[in-house]
Amino acid sequence: MANDVLVVAEHLKGELGEITFELLGIGKTLAAALGGQCVVALIGGNDGMVTALGAAERVVRVDGEGLSDFDPDSHGDALLAVYEAVDPRVVLVGYTSMGMDLASNLATRAGVPHAASCIALVEAGENIHATAQLYGGKLNVTSDLGGGRCVASVLAGSGAVEAGKAEGAPATESVAAPAGRGRVRFKRLIEPEAGDVDITAKEVLVAIGRGIGSKDDIEVAEELAEELDGAVAGSRPLIDSGWLPKTRQVGKSGLKVSPKLYLALGVSGAPEHIEGMKSSATIVAVNTDKQAPIFNYAHYGLVEDLFDVCEELTEAIQEKKG
C-alpha cells in the first residue's frame, strides 16, 4: 500500500465540477502529511481537464465508449480498475449525486471502509480522522478510520476551490476501460426549465423552509421579498411539495446563490441547503429552534416565529419608505 491519495474527478457537460478542486486541495494536504502523492482518477474526461488538474502530481485516465457521460455502473467499474492500479491509502470522492453512486460501491468491492458526508480529514499519527455531519447538521462525529486503506466522501463546501486550482501538465497514464456490462444506459441530460425568476441574479433573497407550514402562507414571504426588491427562494421540501417551482430551490441539488442578503425563514440549515447559500454576503436566520444548524452559518440570528418577523419587518420597511 502506497501512501497516495486518490481524488475522483467529477465532470458534467465536459467541465470539471468545483468539488474536484476542493477534493484536490484537501487531497494535497493529506498526501503531504502521509508522505504520498495526490493522484487524480479522470474517467471519460478530456485533455482540457488534464491541464486544469495541474495541482495533482499524477492523473490516471480511463477512456472508452460511453464513459464521457456518467453512469454509475461503468464509472464504478472504471474507478475500481484505477484503484487497483494506483493502490492508494485514501480515496476522496465528492458526497455528490455522482459520488454517492461511486463511494460505497468502490469501498464494498475493494473491501475497505467508507466514511460518508465528511467535512474534514486529518492525519493523526498513523491513522486518519474524519469528521462528518450527522442529524441534518445538528451534531458532528469524528471517527478514526484506522491505519489502513479507506474511502471518504466529502461534502461540497468543505474545502477551498482555490487550493486545488493550478494549471499544469501533471504526469498522465492510462488504465484500460473494463468491458461494459450495459446494465445502466445514459440517455440524456434534462436542463431545468427557464422562464421563472433567476434567483442567482438577485441581491436579496427571502428563503423559506418547511417552517412556513403551508402553501397559502408563502404569500407573507412574497410580500416581504417585494418590499426588499428581492425574490422568494426555498428549501427542497417546498419544491418537492410543489409549493415553489424548481427554479427557486437553493442547495445541493438546487442552485448556488450568493446574494447581498439571504434571509432564511424557517429553514433548519441541513448540510445540503447550506451548500447552496453559505457564501452569501449577509445571512440572517429566523427560526424558533435555537439549536437549528442554520445559526452556525448565519451572521445574524433571531429565535422567533417567522410569521411575526415577516409581518413586523414588512411593516417597518413600508413605514420607512413612507
Partner 1 sequence: MKIVVLMKRVPDLVEDLEVDGSGKALATEHLKLTVNEFDDHALEEGLLLKETSGGELTVVALDAADVDKMLFTALAKGADRVLKITGAANVEGNTGLAAVFEEVLSAQEHDLILTGVQAADDRDGQLGPIVAALLDVPCVEVVTQVEVGEPGEGMVTVHKEYSGGVVAELEISLPAVLGIQAARQSPRYAPVSKVRQIQQSATIETLAGAGESSGAAAGGGSGFSVVEMTAPETGAGAQMLAGVDELMAVLEAKGVV
Ligand X SMILES: Cc1cc2nc3c(=O)[nH]c(=O)nc-3n(C[C@H](O)[C@H](O)[C@H](O)COP(=O)(O)OP(=O)(O)OC[C@H]3O[C@@H](n4cnc5c(N)ncnc54)[C@H](O)[C@@H]3O)c2cc1C
Residue closer to partner 1 (CB basis): 37 or 293: 293
DSSP state, residue 249: B
User: How does strand 58-62 pair with strand 171-174?
Assistant: parallel
Residues numbered 236 to 255 that lie near ligand X (CB under 6 A) are 236-237, 249-254
Contact call for residue 20 and ligand X (CB under 6 A) = no
Contact 266, 210 (CB under 8 A): yes
Contact 300, 284 (CB under 8 A): yes
Give the one residue of 15, 222, 223, 289 binding ligand X; rule: CB under 6 A.
289
**Residue 161 contact, options partner 1, ligand X, none, Cβ 5-8 Å cut-off depending on partner type:** none
Cell of 137: 447538521
DSSP state, residue 286: E
Residue closer to partner 1 (CB basis): 28 or 297: 297
Contact call for residue 73 and ligand X (CB under 6 A) = no
**Residue 191 contact, options partner 1, ligand X, none, Cβ 5-8 Å cut-off depending on partner type:** partner 1
Contact call for residue 152 and ligand X (CB under 6 A) = no
The span from the CA of 217 to the CA of 240, in Å, is: 17
Residue 40's nearest CA partner among 161, 55, 30 is 55
Among 42-50, 80-88, 220-228, 303-311, the segment contacting ligand X (CB under 6 A): 303-311
Greatest CA span in the chain, whole angstroms? 71
Give the one residue of 266, 283, 298, 301 binding ligand X; rule: CB under 6 A.
266
Contact call for residue 57 and ligand X (CB under 6 A) = no
Residues 6+ apart with CB under 8 A from 313: 224
Where does this chain bind ligand X (CB under 6 A)?
A: 136, 209-211, 235-237, 249-254, 266-268, 270, 272-273, 276, 286-289, 292, 305-307
